[in-house]
A = this chain, B = another copy of it.
Amino acid sequence: MTGPLGGVDLHAPVDDRWFEDYVPGSVYEFGYSTLSETEIVDFARRYDPQSIHTDAAGSAAGPFGGLIASGVHTIAVCMRLYVDHYISHVASLASPGLDEIRWPHPVRPGDRLRIRVAVAEARTSRSRPDRGLVHSAVEALNQDAAVVLSFTAMNFFARRPSS
């Protein structure tokens, strides 16, 4: 994984990044992560054993013309990029959930993925003023710039200590 792409990163490094550093309208890209056939099959055997994800030979005649990654695997691989590069390593509190997960394009063995993250919304908590909730619009793109996954993530981050 190479980190921020295009030379654009959040101003604050991950180990000194707080709620205030997530500025709505900002867009970042991070990469890369490549999925091998072995990884795709191993993950699917454990968590999503449908033949389209586990049977390379059989899936060749299937609707996608070959093996494709489990959608949950794609989420997991992109979560790794999100956690390594975007989420604060000191101020992340919890995530209440994810919205509108979509898989518009299949992920195939050898695909190299990157994520594009846009800060969509950031508001401080009324009940707990030491933190804020950030909505981030996440897309994963393959080497041909096709969007293979999109979702909105919600994360609570602690506010920067006013020392």
Query: Is the beta-carbon distance between B94 and A63 smaller than 8 angstroms?
Result: yes
Instruction: Bin chain A's interface residue count.
Output: 20 to 34
Query: Is the beta-carbon distance between B93 and A97 smaller than 8 angstroms?
Result: no
Looking at A3-11, A21-29, A77-85, A118-126, the stretch in contact with chain B turns out to be A77-85
Query: Is the beta-carbon distance between B103 and A101 smaller than 8 angstroms?
Result: no
Q: A76-B76, A101-B101 in contact; A71/B95 too (CB < 8 A)?
A: yes
Per the 8 Å Cβ criterion, residues 81-124 of A in contact with B are: 83-84, 87, 92-103
Copies of this chain, complex-wide, total: 2
CA distance A96 to B46 in the complex (A): 22
Per the 8 Å Cβ criterion, residues 48-71 of A in contact with B are: 48-50, 63, 70-71
CA distance A46 to B63 in the complex (A): 30
3 pairs of A and B residues whose beta carbons are closest in the complex = A47-B76, A97-B102, A98-B101
Using CB atoms and an 8 Å cutoff, list the residues of chain A in contact with chain B: 46-50, 63, 70-72, 75-77, 79-80, 83-84, 87, 92-103
